[in-house]
Each structure stands twice: as structure tokens, then as C-alpha cells.
């Protein structure tokens, strides 16, 4: 049994992913309490928050803007409090899909070609043809994601995506099997394959119970599995990640793995993808939460030396 700690779970927050974060945080808090820790829950609605004075460590169960973009991480660095997950800089890079893609390209990792759009009046660029994907550059959980299957859909899809950010990432729609690779303490976990029962893996299919089937370990041969894990770990290292995260990857029909994005604070509900991957590795949900706290505590101890 690890030492009994006073842990503050930060959950909720001001982002468009607030509801998911509340669910992640509640599950984490329950697990940590079951392990004997004293757990406080803090919902930072804005920047005017303060930690309980006896806090030994912070478990970040926030998602989206403020919680995942390096802002709260920098505040905790300034306070000198150990916290779970990636550094402020790695968080900032991973939350920005364009910065992430540039890091992947610099590391010679496979990711789709792209352009950045900033105006609702932008036309589909020359040389681009449906099917296409439009993504807000700085959002998560598929918030604002729009597909363009026919060119007539372009104006509406672009306007909808721009409701969620001032910059939109344009990519070709990559066809293949959708997967995700959890990363824990420098190791790639078993691959999860994501199979929506209808349509695409959008916000609704992601958070509607029973709408999507998850296979873990994903039914690939050993060579493709190893390649997906290698690419996922490479992307996580390229953004400067540490401790844990999750990398979304499409496996194309020819077996090539294409990086979609990196998540530095992946969902932590008990049905979320990182806990599923950890379970396939033999780690219970509580053990996973404890490992995340241990990694933060170990890092803080090393810095005090």
C-alpha cells in the first residue's frame, strides 16, 4: 500500500468538455478514496481557485481548454505542487493540433497533410477534394469536428467548426480502422480498436453508452500491433510527453499507421479508453490511478534532491 496522501482532484472546469471531466473526476476520486487516500474535489470555474492547504498532490481530471492546454499545469508549477500528467509545454503543444503535427513531421512520423483555415468565407483549397475533415485546432473530444463528404457541404461545415476556434485544421479523411494507444510510464499499452456502430466516432458516438464497440487488444497481427504502438510512443515523445497519455491513430488498409492527435489528459471514466488499455495489461482502475499519483510524487521527490 502506498502512503496515505491528501489528494485534490481537479475536475469540471470551464471548457466545452466540462461534463466529461466531471465524470472522469468523480471516478478518480472514488478510486483514490477506496485506496485510503483523503480526497478533495476542486472544480475550477475560473482562475480564482485555491488548493486545500494540506494538498500533497493534484490529480488532473480536467479536459479541454484551461485544463489540458498547459494553463493549469503552469499554475501548479508556480505553486510547487506535484500534479499528474504532462508538463505545461507538452500540454500546450499536444492541445494544438497544428503544433502536434509539426512535431510529428519533424520526427518523421506519419501524419496526414494539412492546411489551416481562419475565415468562414474560405473556399476549399485548390487540390483538395472530399472526403475531408475540419477540426478546431484547439479542442478535444471531437468537439467541433466536421466531415465534408460532398463539396456542397463545405460552407456549413466550415462555419460550424469555426464556432469552436478561430483556426481550423483541414485534413483528408483517412480511411481505415480507428485505434488508440495508451502510454503509461514510457510504455505503450495494448492497442484499442474503436468501431462505431453507426457513422463516425464523433462526440455523440464517443459518449453515448452502447453506440461504439471497443476491442482491446485490437485484433491486428503482431507486426501491425507493434507498428501502431511504436508510432504512438513516438508521437508522445515528439510532443515531450511524460507519465501517461493517449495517441489516436488510423490504421489504413495497407497496414500503415497515421497519427491523428495526442491526448495528454485522456478520459478517466471507468469505461474510458486508457483504463481499458491498462486493464488489458493487468492494471485495475484503482491501480492505474495510484500509478499516476506515484509518477507525480516520484518526479517531485527527484526535484527536491
Please choose, from the candidates 154, 164, 159, the residue with its C-alpha nearest in 3D space to the C-alpha of residue 132: 154
Angle at 200 between CA 275 and CA 123, to 5 degrees: 125
Instruction: Report the distance separating Cα 192 and Cα 170, nearest Å.
Output: 26
Please choose, from the candidates 183, 179, 181, the residue with its C-alpha nearest in 3D space to the C-alpha of residue 244: 183
Residue 32, pLDDT score: 98
My answer on whether 165 and 183 are in the same domain is no
Residue 201, pLDDT score: 65
The answer as to whether 64 is a domain residue is yes
- pLDDT-derived band at 302 (thresholds 50, 70, 90) equals confident
The answer as to whether 270 is a domain residue is no
Domain of 233, CATH number, reads 3.30.470.20
**Active centre residues (catalytic):** 17, 141, 207, 246, 248, 261, 263, 267
Instruction: Report the distance separating Cα 8 and Cα 41, nearest Å.
Output: 6
Please choose, from the candidates 304, 236, 293, 233, the residue with its C-alpha nearest in 3D space to the C-alpha of residue 268: 293
Q: pLDDT of 118-151, one tens digit each?
A: 999 999 999 999 999 999 999 876 888 999 999 9
Residue 199, pLDDT score: 72
Please choose, from the candidates 173, 190, 169, 167, the residue with its C-alpha nearest in 3D space to the C-alpha of residue 250: 173
Instruction: Report the distance separating Cα 277 and Cα 161, nearest Å.
Output: 31
Q: Nine-digit cell at 259?
A: 497519427
- pLDDT-derived band at 196 (thresholds 50, 70, 90) equals confident
| Average pLDDT for 74-96 | 97
Main-chain phi, psi angles of 65, to 5 degrees: -55, 140
| Average pLDDT for 76-84 | 97
The answer as to whether 231 is a domain residue is yes
The answer on pLDDT for 206 being more than 70 is no
My answer on whether 39 and 161 are in the same domain is no
- pLDDT-derived band at 263 (thresholds 50, 70, 90) equals very high
| Average pLDDT for 200-212 | 69
Residue 264, pLDDT score: 97
| Average pLDDT for 189-194 | 97
The answer as to whether 273 is a domain residue is no
| Average pLDDT for 77-89 | 97
Please choose, from the candidates 223, 213, 222, the residue with its C-alpha nearest in 3D space to the C-alpha of residue 192: 213
My answer on whether 136 and 232 are in the same domain is no
- pLDDT-derived band at 205 (thresholds 50, 70, 90) equals low
| Average pLDDT for 149-160 | 96
Identify the H or E element spanning 168: strand 168-172
Burial of 302 (0-12, 13-18, 19+ CB in 10 A): exposed
Final residue in a domain of this structure, among 172, 197, 221: 172
The answer as to whether 184 is a domain residue is yes
CB 172 within 8 A of CB 131: yes
- pLDDT-derived band at 229 (thresholds 50, 70, 90) equals very high
Q: pLDDT of 162-176, one tens digit each?
A: 999 999 999 999 999
Residue 300, pLDDT score: 87
CB 84 within 8 A of CB 59: yes
Give pTM, 2 decimals.
Answer: 0.93
Identify the H or E element spanning 147: strand 146-148
The answer as to whether 272 is a domain residue is no
- pLDDT-derived band at 279 (thresholds 50, 70, 90) equals very high
CB 220 within 8 A of CB 251: yes
Q: How many other CB atoms are found less than 10 A from the CB of residue 108?
A: 8
My answer on whether 55 and 122 are in the same domain is no
304 Cβ partners below 8 Å, 6+ apart? none
Number of domains in the chain: 3
Residue 208, pLDDT score: 67
My answer on whether 104 and 230 are in the same domain is yes
My answer on whether 216 and 73 are in the same domain is no
Quick one: what percent of the chain has pLDDT higher than 90?
A: 87
My answer on whether 255 and 168 are in the same domain is no
- Range of the structural domain that residue 50 is part of: 6-85+284-304
Strand 6-10: give its sheet, edge to edge.
38-42, 6-10, 57-60
Residue 238, pLDDT score: 98
My answer on whether 129 and 98 are in the same domain is no
Rg (CA), the chain: 19
Quick one: what percent of the chain has pLDDT higher than 70?
A: 96
In the block, which residue shows the cell 492505474? 288
My answer on whether 158 and 205 are in the same domain is no
My answer on whether 165 and 246 are in the same domain is no
The answer as to whether 209 is a domain residue is yes
The torsion angle over the Cα atoms of residues 222, 225, 227 and 228, rounded to 10 degrees, is: 180
Q: Nine-digit cell at 41?
A: 474535489
Residues in the chain: 305
My answer on whether 99 and 201 are in the same domain is yes
Amino acid at each position: 500500500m502506498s502512503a496515505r496522501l491528501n489528494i485534490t482532484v481537479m475536475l469540471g472546469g470551464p471548457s466545452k468538455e466540462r461534463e466529461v471531466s466531471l465524470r472522469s473526476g468523480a471516478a478518480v476520486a472514488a478510486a483514490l478514496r477506496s485506496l485510503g487516500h483523503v480526497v478533495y474535489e476542486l472544480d475550477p470555474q475560473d482562475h480564482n481557485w485555491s488548493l486545500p492547504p494540506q494538498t500533497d498532490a493534484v490529480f488532473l481530471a480536467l479536459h479541454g481548454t484551461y485544463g489540458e492546454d498547459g494553463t493549469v499545469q503552469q499554475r501548479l508549477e508556480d505553486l510547487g505542487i506535484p500534479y499528474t500528467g504532462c508538463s505545461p509545454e507538452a500540454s500546450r503543444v499536444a492541445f494544438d493540433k497544428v503544433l502536434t503535427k509539426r512535431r510529428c513531421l519533424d520526427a518523421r512520423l506519419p501524419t496526414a497533410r494539412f492546411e489551416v483555415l481562419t475565415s468562414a468565407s474560405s473556399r476549399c483549397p485548390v487540390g483538395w477534394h472530399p472526403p475531408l475533415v475540419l477540426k478546431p485546432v484547439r479542442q478535444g473530444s471531437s468537439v467541433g469536428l466536421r466531415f465534408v463528404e460532398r463539396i456542397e457541404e463545405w460552407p456549413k461545415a466550415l462555419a460550424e467548426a469555426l464556432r469552436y476556434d478561430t483556426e481550423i485544421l483541414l485534413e483528408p479523411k483517412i480511411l481505415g480502422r480507428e485505434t488508440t494507444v495508451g502510454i503509461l510510464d514510457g510504455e505503450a499499452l495494448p492497442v484499442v480498436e474503436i468501431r462505431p456502430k453507426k457513422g463516425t466516432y464523433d462526440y455523440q458516438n464517443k459518449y453515448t453508452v452502447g453506440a461504439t464497440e471497443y476491442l482491446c487488444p485490437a485484433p491486428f497481427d503482431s507486426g501491425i500491433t507493434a507498428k501502431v504502438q511504436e508510432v504512438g510512443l513516438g508521437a508522445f515523445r515528439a510532443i515531450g510527453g511524460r507519465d501517461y497519455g493517449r495517441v489516436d491513430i488510423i490504421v489504413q488498409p495497407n497496414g500503415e499507421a497515421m497519427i491523428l492527435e495526442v491526448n495528454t489528459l485522456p478520459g478517466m471514466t471507468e469505461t474510458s479508453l486508457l483504463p481499458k488499455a491498462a486493464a488489458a495489461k493487468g492494471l485495475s482502475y484503482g491501480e492505474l490511478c495510484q500509478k499516476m499519483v506515484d509518477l507525480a510524487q516520484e518526479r517531485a521527490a527527484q526535484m527536491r534532491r
